[in-house]
Amino acid sequence: MFDRAVREVFAKGGFSAEMLADPAVRPLIEETFNTLNGAIDTAIKTETPPELTAALQNNAFVFSGFKTYHSLSEVGLALTDADGNVKPFETFRKDVEAIDSKYNTNYLFAEYNHALHTSQMAVKWHDIMQDGDRYNLQYRSTPTRCTLLIE
């Protein structure tokens, strides 16, 4: 999908935000979302409210769009050489392999883990909020130590 989007940027002579709706670019957003949504699905329990699940999925989709925008912006910048001339496609393609690796291997691994762990914490926070005032936790701070009081 990244290759297809890169070819579209090359064919159009650059990248603009309007291209995010392009049929050649949209699948890249969707694939990134599918990866992050897999992390969310792993973290979500069946008793999690649909509103929380939908909010997490919406955030992942918006993030996927921004990520695609930034990666393809870098691709657009790689289209020309130092003199401003358009590079031959093969030279351009080699240059954008580093962008692909950075965004779709290195960053995506970290983003997947972040989506997984933040979703787990969102579920835990929801569970805590469901308990209401069952536990009244307060911190008493003194100059030398901090103690936790459970009433």
Range of the domain at 50: 2-150
Give the integer Cα–Cα distance in Å for 22 and 1. 12
pLDDT surpasses 70 at 24: yes
Structure tokens at 20: 């995010």
Residues in the chain: 151
More confident residue, 138 or 25: 25
Burial level of 150, CB count in 10 A (0-12/13-18/19+)?
A: exposed
Report d(CA 37, CA 41) in Å as an integer: 6
- Token pair recorded at residue 98: 């580093």
pLDDT band at 144 (very low <50, low <70, confident <90, very high): low
Mean pLDDT of the chain: 88
46 phi/psi in degrees, rounded to 5:
-65, -30
Nearest partner of 108 among 36, 37, 57, 38, judged by Cα: 36
Give how far Cα 134 sits from Cα of 21, 27, 122, 137, 139, Å: 48, 46, 19, 9, 16
Query: Per the confidence metrics, is the pTM higher than 0.95?
Result: no
Instruction: Please tell me the total count of domains within the chain.
Output: 1
- For residue 22, which phi and psi values (nearest 5 degrees)? -65, 140
pLDDT for 29 equals: 96
What confidence score (pLDDT) does residue 151 get?
Answer: 47
Which of 13-17, 96-100, 124-128, 132-136 bottoms out in mean pLDDT, i.e. has the lowest?
Answer: 132-136
Non-local CB neighbours of 91 within 8 Å, separated by 6+ positions: none
* Range from 22-36, 63-77, 137-151 carrying the lowest mean pLDDT: 137-151
pLDDT cut 90: percent of the chain above it:
72
